[in-house]
Amino acid sequence: MDKPYPAIFRLDKISELKQTKENFDFPYADRFEEGVFKNRIQFMYSGELMKITFKFWGSSLDAVLNRLPTARIKEKNDKQAIVEAEVFGTGIKMWLLSQMEYLEVIGPESFRKEMAQTIKNMWNIYKSEEGD
């Protein structure tokens, strides 16, 4: 199946390898650019390439910018920053959730809704313990 993004495999998880005589020829213009890829994926999971926008008001905006090399500050005041970054999908969701209540995804709308649904699902796990 052809996917619009590269597959990622961890070398330490490969248990068997089968060599074939099949060769591949890729035009130079279509070559895989590792540096560009590495700037967009800092996580073990890939996914579709997307541009996300989020508000951040945590203690270290520099840590966010270091973690996401493609991140740019769109707006900033003394309380929060609006950040835009181009990233590959699934892993970024886990990282954004790790920022707890110091971050809000504002775009794209479909990703914002996905984040909200994940947070609702998480809340449902805990609310039964709260008696709600």
- Domain coverage including residue 119: 19-130
Is a pLDDT exceeding 60 seen at residue 41? Answer: no
Total structural domains within the chain: 1
- CA of 120: how far to CAs of 63, 109, 127, in Å? 27, 16, 10
109-130 vs 89-97: helix crossing angle, rounded to 10: 40
Where do we find the tokens 């270290």? Answer: 60
Q: By percentage, how much of the chain surpasses pLDDT 70?
A: 74
For residue 102, tell me if it sits in a domain.
yes
Q: What residues contact residue 111 under an 8 Å CB cut-off, 6+ apart?
A: 50, 52, 93, 105
Beta bridge partner(s), residue 73: 83
Residue 14: inside a domain, yes or no? no
Within-domain flag for 1: no
**H or E element: which one contains 51?**
strand 49-56
26, pLDDT greater than 80? no
Mean pLDDT of 54-61: 95
Give tens-digit pLDDT for 5-24: 566 666 777 888 888 888 77
Assess if residue 89 is contained within a domain.
yes
pLDDT digits 0-9 by tens, 73-88: 999 999 999 999 998 7
- Which pLDDT score, from 0 to 100, does residue 42 have? 55
Q: What is the 3-state secondary structure (H, E, C) of 54-90?
A: EEECCCCHHHHHHHCCCCEEEEECCCCEEEEEEEEHH
**In a domain? residue 94:** yes
**What average pLDDT score do residues 66-75 get?**
92
Q: Residue 111: give its domain's CATH number.
A: 3.30.70
pTM of the model: 0.65
